[in-house]
Structure formats: C-alpha cells, structure tokens
Structure 1
C-alpha cells in the first residue's frame, strides 16, 4: 500500500501488465455493492435491535457505536495485512467473503422466527422477552463478521484501485470517483434499503444486503485478469515500532556528534556526500540509529533489526510524535459526532416522522442528512469558498484553518442539538408522555435536520483538512496510509463514545432506557462545553506546531 506508482514489467517487452482504466468498472462496481450491503444493515441496526431483539434503546445505541468503531478500525488492520503479507487483492477477496457470511447470518435472524425472541406484548419494554443465548450468538456472530468484512475492504480497495494507475492525475481522478461512489451508495443504502426494512420486511431488506455483497464480490473476482497485482513490500509501521525498542536497548550508550556514527540506508550517492545525522529533537530516540558492534552485517545491511534502525526511521517516528497532539484533538472532535449519530436515531423514534399522509421517514435514514450536507458542501467549498478565500488572501486556506472551521461548526451543531432536545422534552412534559416509552411526541422529526446539517458541513471542512494535513506531514513511507488515520480516529472516537455513554448511565440519570424520562439535552450541552475546550486545545496545538514539510506548505500556499 506504500507505493502507488509501481509497475509490473514483462521480461522482454518492458510493458506494463494489467491495470489502467479497464479495471475501473470492476473496482467501482465492487465498491458500490459492498457499500450498499454494509450501509443497509449498519444504518438501521439500532432500530432492528430495539424492535426485533427487544434491546433497550441505550444498549442498542451502544452496540451501534461498537460496530461503527470496529468498521473504522479494521481498515488499518486490512492495510497492514495487505502491505505486509497478502496484498490488496487477497485482502479485499477474503474480507468480502467474511462480510458476505456475516450479512447472511443477519438475514437468517430476520427470516427465521426461531432466531428472534417473541415480540413485545404491548410495545412496552417491561413486557418484552429477552433473546435466548443461541439467538444472541447468531446475532452477534453476524454483526461481528459483517463489521470485520466491511472495515477490512474499505481502504484496501481504494489502494488497489489507485495502484492500477501510473500517473498522479489518473490516481486523483480515480479517488474523486471513488468517494463520489462511496457517498452515493451510502445515501442509497441509508434510504432505499432502510425503507424496505421498515415498511416491507427485515428479511427482504437484509436479503438485498446479501445480494449486493455477493454481486460486489463477483464483480471484483471477474476483473482479476485485468488487475495490476503488487507484491507485499512489508509494512512501514514495523520500522517505526523498532525505533523505541532499539533506543531502549542502547539507553546506556553515549550519543555521538559525528554523523558517521549513525546508520543510514545504503544509497548510490557518491561516497564524499556526508551521511545524514538525526536531528536534536527527541534526542533519546537517536540511539536507535547509533551503530554498535555486531549491528551491521558484512554486506552493509542491518544484522539486528531490533537493535539498529536507520536515521530516516528515527526521524519518521519523531514526525509522528510531533503531530500526535493535533491528531488527538481530532479524536475529541469526532466523539460528539459519534454520540450524536446514535442518539439522534433514538430522538427520531420518538418524534413524528410523517411527510404528508402516506410517507414516513425511517428513523435509521435520518442521519443520512449528514452525508447529503457533507457532499453538497464539499462541492461548494471546492468551487466557491476556497477560490473566494484565495482571492481575498492570495493563498488558499491551510489544512489547519479548515480543521479549525470544522471545530467551530461541530460545537454549533452540539448546541443546536441541545436546544432541539430541550424543545422535545418540553413537549413530552406538556403532554404527560414521560411514562410512555413508545409514545410519539407531537413534534416533527424535521427539527433534527439543522443539527445534522451543521455537523455535515463541519465534516466537509475538517475531514478533507485532516487528510491534507496528514498526507503532507506524515513521513513519506507512511503517506499512502495517512488517510487511513481518519478511520482510526473515527474508530477510537466510537469506542470512547461508548465508554462515555456507559459512564453517564452509571453516574447520572440523564440517559435512562426511556429518553423521555432523561436529560438528553444536558448530554448535548456537556458535549458543547467539551467541544469548546477541545477547540482551545486545538488552537494551542496549531499555534505551536511547526510544519515539517515547510517547502511543500509554501508551494501549496502560493499555488
């Protein structure tokens, strides 16, 4: 995954075998099928667990957060496996099969009555029968397999698609179409498939997910003979991990001021060119590249990989350490988004979702407003806001400026969420609905849209800003996987949001099983305060951060 420009040459002709635009329909078709399959069950999982498995509302939201976290973390796992061992084609094939198996299990739970508990007698949670152990086993096995499969294919498929092209311009065009397809398929799955699940049957809806997954896998395998297959080159992460180990082993060795005492990768440069020495920052790590007896083999290569690293590997780790504070601020930026995503569905279930007399918005489709607003504002930012900013300031907005705007909009989104929930709770009290968990508040679900629009617009600013920052500032050996750090941020945020919700349930009365008896507005106000504090932390980190690739920053600013 760490090389997008590799080509396979024939022994005699020197021409490239495979790849090119002929592979585009297969890659995009696969993406569409797998995204439809994954989005179709993930978007409506909370509703399915509440209505069909009698789970309490907050418990269902917790399961959804764990699923979203897993599907965001497994792209990192898939990327490492693809780089180090199997290659992108094998990883996508294997994880697509895992996804198909897991989605099949979910379809079985929706189809066979024996795999679901009996429905509630009157819709009240106190009269609901808990699922049996075997029912839980099949359900969670399906969720786990489908989550692993969904996460494992995302970035590996994107990387494999980019690897089919040699020119950066073609790769850029591919990524544009890739993300357009990803968002379009996500919107379709979160609306059309969710509508089938809510208004026709869960079995048919999950069956559509199985069919979409199977078709996506079939399309991918049909294109095998056209693909450019790259052999695994080893994960650059392993080189980073070796640095602190080697530095600890040599903790008692004195540092040298002579560059010759540090190990550099052998090159074809003239011998009179002075070798690079590690920089002074984080000097305790410099020992990892300090030569010692027995570290280097007779051919000049490293004989003890866990005792000696190159100067470049040491500097790569330092770059990651320097950018870590900014990266951590993005985790706390994503936690409110994760919490809002699950709690909004619970709010939607308790509001009037009718549009006219004959159409009812599925609760699982309400968060799709975030996707739609993000897609629209990505275009507006690229075509209008950025050119306007450049005309006024004579340089485009920097990555850190984009991220900062995203912080502000996210805080505003949480504040609006708190105000809307306060209005909903007032109507609950006015109509004496606190003791009725399945009651519908006479308040339109459209009131939830402004907060989702704000969060979506914020994502249009800070997600591309983060991608640009990490791609520019990460070490060159890690740039191809820098975008996967966004997935890691989301994964960590979802798991932390699960822990935070669990903590709030234990120490406060804000999140009972019946949200009509709770104070969800207080939760949102708390997230608003945390967002403001995190924005201050981000501003401090941004003001202290010094770009590692200053030349590139200047070039970008003057472009």
Structure 2
C-alpha cells in the first residue's frame, strides 16, 4: 500500500465549497462497510456450524455449501459492477444490493427463531437425525441466495462509489486503505463477538445482531445520498471489449497498415472520421486485434463517411483497452490458484477446530467459527506494519517502492508456506487423535498467521495492480475482478474437495478417520506449480505506467 494509513482529514483542495463528493462522504461509506461486513462475517463465518447443528447437514456437505455461498458472493460484484457502469450507476446498485442483503439476513433470522423452519435437533446418536423438509430447505436456501447476492453486490460497488468521490489518486488510495481496514476490523469483531453470541446465547440473538447491523448499514448509506457525487453510466465498456473481438474476427483476412490515417480514432460518433490530437497509434502487442480499428472499404459509405456498425469498426482506444485486458488475464488466472488453497483451508480449518480442544482456561471455549479470525487479525496488523515499516524501508534502501507484482509474489510464497505448516500440524493432530489425545486448537494459529501475512502482501497488491493497469473506463470493474477470482476459487475448491471425496478416502464425515493432511500437501503442490506459472507471467508482463 503506497499510500499511508493516515487520518482522513479533509485537504484544502477539497474544501472549496463543493456540495458533493470529498471527505464529507467518508463517514457514510465507513459506516456502511462496517455494518454490512459485521453482518456478513457474523453469518458466513459460522454458517458451517449452523448447518451442522441446526439443520443436521453432514460436515463435508456443510463445508461445500459455505464454499458455494462465499463463491457466489464474490462472483456477484462483477455482474453488479457491469450493471452499475452501464445502466443504473453505483449508488442505485449498491443501495438495491444492501436492501437484498437485509432481506436475506432477516429471512435467515426467521429460520433460527421459528421452529417449523428447521428440523428437530439431533440426539446423541446420529441415526436419529432427521434431514430438513423441502420447505425448510427452500427457506434456508432463499436466505442464503439473498445474502450472497446482497452482500456481494454491495461491498465492491460501494467501494468504487466511495473512490469516485475523490479526484486525486492519492486521496483515492487513502480511502481504499481505510475502507479495507474498516472491513477487516468489522469482520474481526463479527468472528469473535457475534459468533460467541451465536454459540453461547443462541442463533436467534446472533442473527438478530447481524440483521440490526445490516439495517444500520443501509440507513447510514442512504443518509449520505445528498453528499454523494453520483456519476452517470456511460454505456457498457465491457460490451466494447466484445465489439473489438468480433470486429477483429470479421476482418481477419485484412492486413494491418503502418499508416495512422488508416485507423479509426473517432471519439464523438460514427458519422465522421474525427482525428484525435495527438493521435493514438495502435500498439505492436497483439497486433491481430488492431484490425478492429482498421478502416476498410466496407466501413465507408459512398460519401466516405463511416458506417454505423460498432460491431465491425472500433476506435483505436477501444482496441488498446481490449489488449490491456488480454495482457492482464494470465496474471489474473494465477491469482485464482493463489486463492483456491485459502478457500480449501477456510472450510477445513473449521472442521478441524470442531474436533480439537478449544478450551482456554476452565470457563471459556473458542467457537470453531472464530478460529479463522486469526487470518483477519494478522492481515490487519501486518497491513499497518507493512505500510509504516517495510515499504518505507524498502523505498529508503532501493530508492523506489516495490511493485504490486513483487508484493503479490511474496504473498504466493507465504501462502505455500502456510499450507506446508497446515499439513504438518494436521499430521500431528491425527497421530495424537489415534492415541485418543485431543490437540489444542492453538496449534492452528501459526498456519493462519502465515496465510494472513501473505494476504497483507497479495490482496492490496492485487487491488493496486488492477486499479492502475485496467483501462480508465473499467475502473469499477477492476475492483470487482478481485472478488471474481475469489469467487471462482471457492467454486474450484468445492469441485476439488468433491473430486477428492470421490477418488480417495481422505475426507470422510469424521475427519479423525481421514487424511486432511494429504489435502494440504495437494495444496502445497498446486501452489508451487502456480508460483512458477506466476513468475513466468509477471516477468513477461510490461507495466502500462513505468512509474508503477
């Protein structure tokens, strides 16, 4: 994070009497992300336990369901970003998504309070457990779907809207720092306080707290409407990418020209050829797609004006934007396999915690769903250390800041090391379990700290990289790309776990009779191969801006 995590005082340049935008909007966005993040983490962080204990769903199946929930909530932001940029604007989409999340939270709260909406609890014998009825499943899944769509659609859309309130990049950077800091802090509170309430005082009270937090988040977000700078949607930049691809294929038999005047650089419409000064010349990378901007005889009317066919002729800028995205995709795919082991670990850690000794003293027991808070705490603490100590020290020694790709690379290494420690700890736990000795849940902390520190490197590194390297017209979509890869990773983790269950005996319903350590070693292997792939992609990548 190149921008310091300093107190967001209003700069003089933004206090010039403008009614909309600026730091006056900051409290509303922080309040919104705090309320929604607390509710989201309080629900999803303990959902595995809720499904197992209250809906009699088997442990591995519950883990799979939660993976799908997390995956869906991280895929939704890409859709909402496109809808916001193209049709309705960020505020309308973020507000609608927040309302959907409130509806889903209230519905889940009802499943915890109305006995007819959940099956009878199990007795000591698992054979007496009755599965949920179709109606109970329906209400449960409706609440889960609404929660996935609502929280997923509001988080990154509100982040983009918040960044749009500022004109200077450094102010946008400070906003992002505080936005994600608030997200981590609220999530930590949820994974400790809210989950403790759920485990010790009842699910109804815990989910009720989540519903109230969501409601307050929506109210705070709506209260700031009069101060927001609402940008109008300007059409789909994503659709422009499709036009470039189609136009390139339609002109695949034409040869590229070395003359600038042969390319369309129009910016005001398709009626006339309007030259931009200075003209943008098609780059040499991925020259095949330059054909999309090549003016051919078929693109001209009899009076030499341009025909209105956006699927046959694109501007040079559209072509260059398309090629930027293509150049970034290999690095983006490597991040999918960076997030997949983390997704697998997030589910298995809860299952491990359920069969470990979670006692701290004689009166306190750590909730299984709260164990993963160690990742968030480690990330939040190390983000500050990274921002205040490591990055300034690096700059002092080398004269420049580490590139986003360098930070992501460090995250790759730490993630693999975290999986190695996970495998070693699980091997030890199984050995003690066979001797009927319960291992302390504190042994899970080192691996989670490693993953958290790695996230402090690669997560903000990816935010910075995509925000800087994506075309200007796709800045909102750039932040959603990060959540999209996380969503794909959780879906992929679900598929991998399912395949492991089909082909091996590593993941039975009782993990004490399985080989979870082998699953972690598999993650180590995939992570190592993916790191080599990342190195190849990052070395060959050329930054759009040399000062990055």
Q: Same fold (TM over 0.5)?
A: yes
How far did residue 252 of structure 1 move? 2.9
How far did residue 273 of structure 1 move? 5.5
Alignment of 1:388 onto 2:393: yes
Change (3 A) 1:162 1:363: same
Partner of 1:534: 530
Q: How far apart in 2 are the matches of 1:514 and 1:153?
A: 37
Partner of 2:88: 86
How far did residue 85 of structure 1 move? 0.9
Partner of 2:355: 350
Partner of 1:209: 210
Q: Determine if contact 1:198/1:362 at 8 Å carries over to the other structure.
A: yes
Q: How far apart in 2 are the matches of 1:279 and 1:392?
A: 35
Partner of 1:332: 337
1:128-162, Cα deviation, whole Å (9 max, x unpaired):
11110100000000000011000000111112222
How far did residue 299 of structure 1 move? 11
* Residues 355-434 of structure 1: pairs in structure 2 closer than 5 A: 355-431=360-436
Relative to the length of structure 1, the TM-score reads 0.90
Alignment of 1:157 onto 2:174: no
Q: Determine if contact 1:82/1:88 at 8 Å carries over to the other structure.
A: yes
What is the DSSP-based 3-state SS (H/G/I as helix, E as strand, rest coil) of the residue aligned with 1:234?
Answer: coil
Q: How far apart in 2 are the matches of 1:204 and 1:224?
A: 31
Q: Determine if contact 1:246/1:306 at 8 Å carries over to the other structure.
A: yes
Q: How far apart in 1 are the matches of 2:274 and 2:241?
A: 28
Q: How far apart in 1 are the matches of 2:287 and 2:358?
A: 60
Change (3 A) 1:99 1:299: farther
**Match among 259, 277, 282 for residue 286 of structure 2:** 282
Q: Determine if contact 1:56/1:125 at 8 Å carries over to the other structure.
A: no
How far did residue 536 of structure 1 move? 1.3
Partner of 1:511: 507
How far did residue 126 of structure 1 move? 3.3
1:466-525, Cα deviation, whole Å (9 max, x unpaired):
222223332233244323221111111111101100110111111111111110000001
Q: Determine if contact 1:258/1:277 at 8 Å carries over to the other structure.
A: no
Change (3 A) 1:161 1:467: closer
Change (3 A) 1:85 1:315: same
Q: How far apart in 2 are the matches of 1:125 and 1:290?
A: 69
Relative to the length of structure 2, the TM-score reads 0.92
Please list every run of 5 or more consecutive structure 1 residues that lacks an aligned counterpart in the other structure.
1-13, 432-440, 554-559
What is the DSSP-based 3-state SS (H/G/I as helix, E as strand, rest coil) of the residue aligned with 1:442?
Answer: coil
Q: How far apart in 1 are the matches of 2:395 and 2:513?
A: 50
What count of residue pairs does the alignment treat as equivalent? 529
How far did residue 546 of structure 1 move? 2.5
Partner of 1:42: 44
Alignment of 1:305 onto 2:310: yes
55-64 vs 323-332, which moves further: 323-332
100-109 vs 21-30, which moves further: 21-30
1:19-78, Cα deviation, whole Å (9 max, x unpaired):
333332222222211111111101100000011011111111111111111111111112
Q: How far apart in 1 are the matches of 2:158 and 2:304?
A: 38
Partner of 2:457: 461
What is the DSSP-based 3-state SS (H/G/I as helix, E as strand, rest coil) of the residue aligned with 1:352?
Answer: coil
Please list every run of 5 or more consecutive structure 2 residues that lacks an aligned counterpart in the other structure.
1-15
Q: Determine if contact 2:266/2:274 at 8 Å carries over to the other structure.
A: no
Runs of 4+ in 1 over 6 A off after TM superposition: 269-272, 296-302
Change (3 A) 1:285 1:203: same
What is the DSSP-based 3-state SS (H/G/I as helix, E as strand, rest coil) of the residue aligned with 1:181?
Answer: helix
Partner of 2:238: 237
1:168-226, Cα deviation, whole Å (9 max, x unpaired):
44333322321221111111111111111100010111111111111111222222223
**Match among 65, 68, 71 for residue 69 of structure 1:** 71
Change (3 A) 1:118 1:472: same
**Match among 314, 320, 325 for residue 319 of structure 2:** 314
Give me the CA root mean square deviation: 2.3
Change (3 A) 1:300 1:171: farther
How far did residue 300 of structure 1 move? 6.5
Partner of 2:114: 112
How far did residue 327 of structure 1 move? 1.5
